[in-house]
Structure 1
Amino acid sequence: MEEGNSKVKVASLLWLEGFREACCLHRVLILCFRSNTLLIRTGQCFLLNGFIFLGSIFVLNSLVIPALRWILPDQCSHLVSHELCDLGATFKFYSFLRLALIQLFYVLWFYPLYVFSIVLSTIWYNDIAKYGYAAMGRSKLTVEKGSGQNKSLTVQNTSHVKRPSGLGGVMIGIGEQVYSLLLLSVFFLEVYATGFIPYIGKVLNFLLLSWMYAYYCFEYKWNFNEVALERRLDYFESNWPFFAGFGSPCVLAIFFFSPLVSYGIMAILFPLFVLTATGSEVEQEISFEKHKWRAAGVGRLPIFYVADNVSMWMLSLLPLEKGEQVQNRKAE
């Protein structure tokens, strides 16, 4: 019982540390203050996803739909003659016409805007992470050489793997990106499927979404640091309580809204959490204390086990020579 309480206590502390780190949004202001380009790119993201996308949803729900209900009522009112009130087919036609106009609004505006926002926001997220990383370097937030913190290894300096130069290094990099994309795509489907599990589905969905968003936030930083894929997955699964806590504020902000509204809110908040992760040094502190909480029994949790096996099975369907190269790379 005492050992179990110790595990829960350590995991809870790491979860709280991750939640606290995600809420350190003042880092966003500091980084934007140091980089005008970062400020402009973040502002563009807010303008597109907040003002235009969420604003369009607000206009639809607050103005367009009430206006249509007034023009095309679904029940008898003082604006409708008694002759029409006696014809039930009239209100059915009004209801059908109103629904058709709303769906037309979605088809001609919301869905194209949604696709446009995804494509453009994906490009902007990478720029925001890049400019934020550069601003962090200029502000000396990274660990300087020769400091006392070099006594312990961190994920940045232990995970840097020297790749072969030339075409071989390029192919390895492309292979890692393909495998990472496939892995996260399978994991996303896994997250989506858990939502249909009775009773515990919502809890599992919340937890997996927290890990997914936390990984996305830190992935930009790890890419710039050239952290090997296997090392970053090992680090993520070894520090699972921290990353569950870090992703929780992201999920809490969208969990109780409709899909379109959730996307708009996440599209605004996601770059902020990316910058918060970029400016964070907490993974170094976790690395320093790793032996303590591992000794307490909070070990590695195979979060990506299912996604990894499914991804490797899919890659095994490739031509034998390419499949062996992927397997060998992953084994390293």
Structure 2
Amino acid sequence: MSNTFQHICLGIVNGFRDNVLGALKVYKMDAKTETEPTKKSEEELTTLARRRAVKKPSKEKENSKERAPRITQRIFLCCAWNGGIFWMSILLFNSVLLPGLQWLTILLAGHSSSVMVWGWIGPVLSWVFSALWILPLFVLTKVVNNFWFQDIADAAYRKSRGRPQLPNISVFIADMVFSLLMQSLFLMQGMIAHFLPIPAVGQVIGVLHMCLLYSLYSFEYKWINMGLEVHQRVSIIEMKWPYFCGFGLPMAILTSLPSSFVVSGCVFSILFPLSIVSANEADENNHRLDYYQLKLFGPVIRISNALFNHSFKGQRSRRSVTTDASNRHGQTSETSTSKR
């Protein structure tokens, strides 16, 4: 029992360490790309491409290198958008604009009258700001972040592991839809477990769910590029859950500190690119610990399979009905033609 507990603690510590230290390898990856020329890419060039490369001026080569964005530049743009524009606008509104308007109201209407006036002006301004600025920008940020996260993950994978495996488009879409449904249900499962009436147990289970979910978010980019399907990815998380619990623990702690859901999303969007790089550089296969497989994803996988299969059967039944109707229509037209 004590040996198993030591293994669990060791896995949590190793995952936490890999997440924190892995983010520091971003600068090494960019420096390695700049200092070491890729011989493999030179060997893969055709004869015509080599002649063009020789004829190409060196100044154009330098400009093309400068135009190629580095991983650090991509991460900086992502952090600048989420922290410098989105989060900063919320802080300025709540800390500068609203207090300034409240002070101006007190100055113009007096202290006694301003209490009643600000009682309905303050909520109206907050609602208008949320509806006209926060909500549209939040949706736009989610869309932009998805492209940035994928771009950062692909760039990190190419620089450290080579070309990603390109799956079939239909298989890739089905895999992503199933993964999104499963992750949404797993998030709901963690929120329900958080409200268990047993003291402290519900909170521990809720934090465990968030840690594993953040680890799945981070490692999923690498595993998809490696060609692993969603059930294989979930099996790795469940088999080595102490390691992935420790890996997602920093993100779970930092995103739980803000009281606002929007601010928590900003913190996640700022830190998540670093977790993607850390997951890409981590070697989770080295952590082979002998403990029981934690099948927390089992219920949501069964529900996702049921919903997925039900929708797929519904599509097949609708297609069969359409096919039967078209066949009947064709038979009817042939009969009427023969009668004529």
Q: Deviations over 1:123-179 (max 9, x none)?
A: 1100000011112137xxx9xxxxxxxxxxxxx9xxx9x98xxxxx54434332222
Question: Counterpart of 2:296 in 1: which secondary structure?
Answer: coil
- 1:127: which partner in 2? 151
Separation in 2 of the partners of 1:172 and 1:115? 27
Aligned-pair identity in percent equals 26
Q: How many residues align?
A: 278
**Does 1:52 pair with 2:51?**
no
1:48 aligned partner, one-letter code: W
1:121 aligned partner, one-letter code: N
The one of 283, 302, 305 aligned to 1:309 = 302
2:11 aligned partner, one-letter code: L
- Deviation of 1:320 after TM superposition, in Å, equals 3.2
**Does 1:69 pair with 2:67?**
no
| Structure 1: stretches of 5+ with no match in the other structure | 143-155, 164-168, 324-332
The one of 248, 262, 265 aligned to 2:267 = 265
Q: Mean Cα displacement is larger for which, 40-49 or 211-220?
A: 40-49
- 1:239: which partner in 2? 240
| Structure 2: stretches of 5+ with no match in the other structure | 34-67, 317-340
Separation in 1 of the partners of 2:203 and 2:188? 15
**Does 1:12 pair with 2:9?**
yes
Question: Counterpart of 2:255 in 1: which secondary structure?
Answer: coil
More helix by share: 2
Q: Write out aligned runs for 1:162-173 (5 A).
A: 169-173=168-172
Q: Does the aligned pair in 1 maintain the 2:211–2:249 contact within 8 Å?
A: yes
Q: Does the aligned pair in 1 maintain the 2:218–2:275 contact within 8 Å?
A: yes
- 2:212: which partner in 1? 211
Q: Deviations over 1:244-266 (max 9, x none)?
A: 00000111111121212111111
Q: Write out aligned runs for 1:24-43 (5 A).
A: 24=21, 25-33=23-31, 34=33, 36-43=69-76
Q: Write out aligned runs for 1:148-297 (5 A).
A: 169-198=168-197, 199=199, 200-258=201-259, 259-281=261-283, 283-286=284-287, 290=288, 293-294=289-290
Separation in 1 of the partners of 2:30 and 2:203? 36
- Deviation of 1:206 after TM superposition, in Å, equals 1.4
The one of 14, 20, 23 aligned to 1:23 = 20
1:227 aligned partner, one-letter code: L
1:53 aligned partner, one-letter code: F
* TM-score (norm. length: structure 1): 0.76
- Deviation of 1:60 after TM superposition, in Å, equals 1.5
Larger Rg: 2
Separation in 2 of the partners of 1:253 and 1:190? 21
Q: Deviations over 1:50-106 (max 9, x none)?
A: 100111122122211211221234xxxx7655xx73x6xx63232101221122112
Residue 66 to residue 21, structure 1, CA distance change in 2 (3 Å): same
Q: Does the aligned pair in 2 maintain the 1:72–1:98 contact within 8 Å?
A: no
* TM-score (norm. length: structure 2): 0.75
Question: Counterpart of 2:282 in 1: which secondary structure?
Answer: coil
Q: Does the aligned pair in 1 maintain the 2:215–2:248 contact within 8 Å?
A: yes
Please give the root-mean-square deviation of Cα atoms over the aligned residues, in Å.
Answer: 2.7
Residue 113 to residue 10, structure 1, CA distance change in 2 (3 Å): same
Q: Deviations over 1:159-200 (max 9, x none)?
A: x9x98xxxxx54434332222222112112222333333433
